[in-house]
Structure 1
Amino acid sequence: MKQQSLLFTALLTSALSLSAQEDKQWTLEDCINYALEKNIQLQQNKISLQESEEDVKEAKAALFPSLSFSTGHNVVNRPYQENSSTVSGTEIISSDSKTTYSGNYGLNAQWTLWNGNQRLNNIKQQKTNREIAQLTVAETENMLKEQIAQLFIQILYADESIAINKGTVEVSRATYERAQELFKEGSISKADLAQLEAQLSNDEYQLVTSESTLRNYKLQLKQLLELDNTKEMSLVLPHISDEHVMELLPSQTDVYQTALATRPEIKSSKLDIDNAKLAISSAKAGYMPTISLSASTSSTTNSSSSNNWTQQMKYGWNNMIGLSLSLPIFDQRQTKTSIRKARLQYDTTQLNLINAQKELYSTIESLYLDALNAQQQYVAAETKLKSSQTSFDMVSEQFNLGMKNTVELLTEKNNLLSAQQQRIQAKYMAILNRTLLNFYAGQEIEL
């Protein structure tokens, strides 16, 4: 009964959670925060970070001595000997038993005192790897924020495009209905009426296409957030004013300098160089001697002894301590090769940093130019939209009075639709690129 109650509670909690998810109104901030918590790639990177922390602990533990206990037990049978002598520790034992048992027990310690600072360099390398893993997490977080912002703005664009297409369909339907009246009056031909009907069908098709595009963008957003694809996602879409579109862009140079100091991919490339330097030092340690200290304590027992087990452990007890020095003389060029490879890797990391800086500058420059061009295009599109709207209104009125033909009306209508699409395209391109530009400048993503 208790298990059934627990199961019911779990199912109810799960159902309430799903219901809350369906009813939730998602803002851009909500999407980003949820992705930072649930995204699988980000969680995998966090696991890698935890693994790197364990590597640091392991590298530190290598500074301490190792301690192990060993024991061995043997049964010896001598079928053709009447008697035999064995050595148990320092005791010589004679026995007329054909089968004897012996045991040994040992406690061993090993401590590397010095090996060319390899262990210290390894600790530094593992700490650097941990920092790189942290930066990888930050880099993935930035990537998620950029992708979500891009999808969110694409959804804004698709949503406004749907509104434009709905308005276009309404105008086309009203025009077609008016054309039917003109056809009955004999003012236009059947071919003109059929052309307007075809235009209405085409506009309805464009509306369906824009709605499908919006659903696709939402699907991509849900996948990025690891949400159930079958559940509807309700978004809170902010209103973007003209003043927001035409906000002043930050200085390209200032953005680049800030990004150089803050972006995780640049910091990670610099840490790769530090790691490569440590790798060279570790490789050079192959030429250095290794000094080790060892110690052990052990004892043995034998079933043939006249002493009891305790006495045998006491009399067989021996202690040992030793110091060893290992000096490499010839190692088939292994150390030299390791040093050469480490230096080549160091050169590679320097080139990787230069490449990362160039890619960062290229990205920021592209964002700046695209944002600037989009703002200029937006201003031009606003002017074009006003003139196209005025022209279409005049031609539409004249068509209703029978003064303009179908071709002239459809031409002005298509010009108006094109101007509307150009305006919203420039609008959201400007918003997207300026938002990402501000993000590279160290600001949070917001609309």
Structure 2
Amino acid sequence: MPLKPKFLLSLVLLLACFNNLFAQDSTLMGTTINWDLAKCIDYAKKNNILINTYRLSLLTSQQQYLLAKAARLPNLSGSATQNFSHQNAGSYDPATGTGGGSGLSASGSYSLNSSVTLYNGNLINNTIQQANLSVESANLSIIQQENDITLQITQAYLAVLLDKENIIYDTDLVNTSATQVKLEQQKYDVGAVARYALIQLQAQQSTDQFTLINAKNTEKGDLLTLKQLLLLTSDVNFDIIKPDTIVPIDTVTAFKTVEQTALQNRPEVKSSELGVKIAQYGVDIAKAGYKPVLSAGGALNTSYSTGQGSLPYQLNNNFNQEVGLTLSVPIFTRRVVKTQVEEAKINVDQADLNLKNTRITLSQSVERAYLNVTNAKSQYDAALQQYNFNKEGYRIATEQLKVGAINTVDYSVQKNLFIQAQQAFIQAKYNELLTLKIYDFYRGIPIKL
């Protein structure tokens, strides 16, 4: 019998899905790529192993759902039995006219059997509903894991951005130090300054160079972390694209608003709610064991045997048709059904606790995110003010050093204050951005720069 078009389409889609799940992206091997945050998140969602594991679980749940629906249909089985026997020669009996020869005889029987469940305490319907909810829950698990990997990628991506900005500032400091050392060397050559002043600036230049090297090494490490999160192979030369601007926070949404939105829409809460419903269906399924089962059955069978007439005659003459009803009533199950029902009720209680714990955990996470973003905003405002003051102080000290109005010791002190303020400002800026993105993510706003 030819395959139906719908079945062929389903088979093709299933094979394509498995191919996407397990085939590595060979097009990236040995290439140089530069991705922005959106591309990193999109790639991670498609290639993360844990997410793809959940996708396979979803396929399994879908198959279980189809199996549950198929339980409504009648079954059909066929059987065929063919026997051959050989009779040895015996003495001839004149009275009966038998014996005196040997021969081969054959016999066979053939049947078709079918049965369908008419009533089983709503077991089939409840199983279908439970399986359907399991499909929804499996899909929510994928979304939840995608949310988790999104936050991980964002945190790693912003860490690299922080490193890149540090490198820019540190490179500028190294260039400034080199210029100052060159000018101080000229002054020393003509005897305008003492050697101690030159050594002080040379030491500062070495310190700035060391800081720059550390910043570059930190960037390499954070890039490797992001690359490994993306599951990129070692032969891929990977870097990120820095956004043009990073906008500071203007306002922070009220905690209660974000909390309510998260509790209503986050996949972990919806999944836990489905878990309660799935467990409740489990109770109904278990209780079906107390109820009778009514099924209808039918059979077609025929047979033949050598020596009983022609084959067509026997098959037609022995052709039987049967139809009937079977009622099975549980009377004593040795506590099997009662135990199943009680265990199902315990599962409902456990699912309720899981839901309660999920809501509490999510609420606490949103509250922590709110505290983090408000703290980060105040830290950024303070760091920005500190940076501006120290930047101006450093600018004045630099001009004073050029004309000899300040000694190198005081200049180094002012420069170190500026460097500390600069590092604190950069850290505060990206910390504010990260905490805001996480906080907004809880209220359903996609992460993008």
The within-5 A match list for 1:281-296 is 281-296=284-299
Residue 374 (structure 2) aligns with: 372
The verdict on how the C-alpha distance between 1:59 and 1:402 changes in structure 2, with shifts beyond 3 A counting, is: same
The verdict on how the C-alpha distance between 1:97 and 1:19 changes in structure 2, with shifts beyond 3 A counting, is: closer
- Determine the C-alpha separation between the residues in 2 that align with 1:291 and 1:103: 32
Q: Contact 2:376/2:428 (CA < 8 Å) preserved in 1?
A: yes
Match for residue 280 of structure 2 among 257, 277, 283: 277
Q: Which 10-residue stretch deviates more, 54-63 or 120-129?
A: 54-63
- Determine the C-alpha separation between the residues in 2 that align with 1:129 and 1:444: 26
Question: Is 2:217 the counterpart of 1:212?
Answer: yes
Residue 41 (structure 2) aligns with: 32
Residue 256 (structure 1) aligns with: 259
Residue 17 (structure 2) aligns with: none
The verdict on how the C-alpha distance between 1:233 and 1:81 changes in structure 2, with shifts beyond 3 A counting, is: farther
- Which string of whole-angstrom CA distances, capped at 9 and with x for unpartnered residues, describes residues 120-159 of structure 1? 1100001100111221222223223323322332222111
The within-5 A match list for 1:55-204 is 55-77=64-86, 97=102, 99-181=104-186, 184=189, 185=191, 187-189=193-195, 196-204=201-209
Q: Which 10-residue stretch deviates more, 143-152 or 163-172?
A: 143-152
Residue 314 (structure 1) aligns with: 316
Q: What secondary structure is seen at the aligned counterpart in 2 of 1:245?
A: coil
The verdict on how the C-alpha distance between 1:407 and 1:336 changes in structure 2, with shifts beyond 3 A counting, is: farther
Q: Which 10-residue stretch deviates more, 150-159 or 44-53?
A: 44-53
- Determine the C-alpha separation between the residues in 2 that align with 1:264 and 1:173: 55
Shift of 1:208: 2.4
- Determine the C-alpha separation between the residues in 2 that align with 1:167 and 1:81: 117
- Determine the C-alpha separation between the residues in 2 that align with 1:366 and 1:442: 17
- Determine the C-alpha separation between the residues in 1 that align with 2:210 and 2:348: 58
Q: Which 10-residue stretch deviates more, 152-161 or 209-218?
A: 209-218
Q: Contact 1:81/1:98 (CA < 8 Å) preserved in 2?
A: no
Shift of 1:401: 5.6
- Determine the C-alpha separation between the residues in 2 that align with 1:382 and 1:349: 48
Tell me how many residue pairs correspond in the alignment.
419
The verdict on how the C-alpha distance between 1:177 and 1:107 changes in structure 2, with shifts beyond 3 A counting, is: same
Q: What secondary structure is seen at the aligned counterpart in 1 of 2:237?
A: coil
- Determine the C-alpha separation between the residues in 1 that align with 2:436 and 2:63: 41
Q: Contact 2:90/2:100 (CA < 8 Å) preserved in 1?
A: no
- Determine the C-alpha separation between the residues in 2 that align with 1:128 and 1:319: 41
- The amino acid that maps onto 1:369 is L
Shift of 1:32: 3.0
Q: Which 10-residue stretch deviates more, 207-216 or 254-263?
A: 207-216
TM-score w.r.t. length of structure 2: 0.83
The verdict on how the C-alpha distance between 1:332 and 1:95 changes in structure 2, with shifts beyond 3 A counting, is: farther
- Determine the C-alpha separation between the residues in 2 that align with 1:283 and 1:441: 39
Identity over aligned pairs, percent: 33
The verdict on how the C-alpha distance between 1:98 and 1:434 changes in structure 2, with shifts beyond 3 A counting, is: same
Residue 12 (structure 1) aligns with: none
- Which string of whole-angstrom CA distances, capped at 9 and with x for unpartnered residues, describes residues 343-370 of structure 1? 1111111111111111211221121111
- Determine the C-alpha separation between the residues in 2 that align with 1:361 and 1:236: 34
- The amino acid that maps onto 2:432 is A
Q: Contact 2:120/2:294 (CA < 8 Å) preserved in 1?
A: yes
The verdict on how the C-alpha distance between 1:294 and 1:163 changes in structure 2, with shifts beyond 3 A counting, is: same
Q: What secondary structure is seen at the aligned counterpart in 1 of 2:129?
A: helix
The verdict on how the C-alpha distance between 1:82 and 1:95 changes in structure 2, with shifts beyond 3 A counting, is: closer
Q: Contact 1:179/1:188 (CA < 8 Å) preserved in 2?
A: no
Residue 354 (structure 2) aligns with: 352
Shift of 1:79: 5.9
Q: What secondary structure is seen at the aligned counterpart in 2 of 1:71?
A: strand
- Determine the C-alpha separation between the residues in 2 that align with 1:138 and 1:82: 85
- The amino acid that maps onto 2:348 is Y
Shift of 1:284: 1.2
- Determine the C-alpha separation between the residues in 1 that align with 2:30 and 2:444: 33
Unaligned residue ranges in structure 2 (runs of 5+):
1-24, 93-98
- Which string of whole-angstrom CA distances, capped at 9 and with x for unpartnered residues, describes residues 46-84 of structure 1? 33323322222211110111011111223345669889x
Question: Is 2:363 the counterpart of 1:361?
Answer: yes
- Which string of whole-angstrom CA distances, capped at 9 and with x for unpartnered residues, describes residues 189-230 of structure 1? 56x755654543343233223223323333343444444443
Q: Contact 1:371/1:434 (CA < 8 Å) preserved in 2?
A: yes
TM-score w.r.t. length of structure 1: 0.83
Q: What secondary structure is seen at the aligned counterpart in 1 of 2:73?
A: coil
Q: What secondary structure is seen at the aligned counterpart in 2 of 1:364?
A: helix
- Which string of whole-angstrom CA distances, capped at 9 and with x for unpartnered residues, describes residues 375-432 of structure 1? 1111111121122223334444555566655544433322211111110111111111
Residue 448 (structure 2) aligns with: 446
The verdict on how the C-alpha distance between 1:95 and 1:322 changes in structure 2, with shifts beyond 3 A counting, is: farther
- Determine the C-alpha separation between the residues in 2 that align with 1:214 and 1:80: 97
- Which string of whole-angstrom CA distances, capped at 9 and with x for unpartnered residues, describes residues 81-135 of structure 1? 889xxxxxxxxxx997565432221100121222221111100001100111221
Q: Contact 1:109/1:294 (CA < 8 Å) preserved in 2?
A: yes
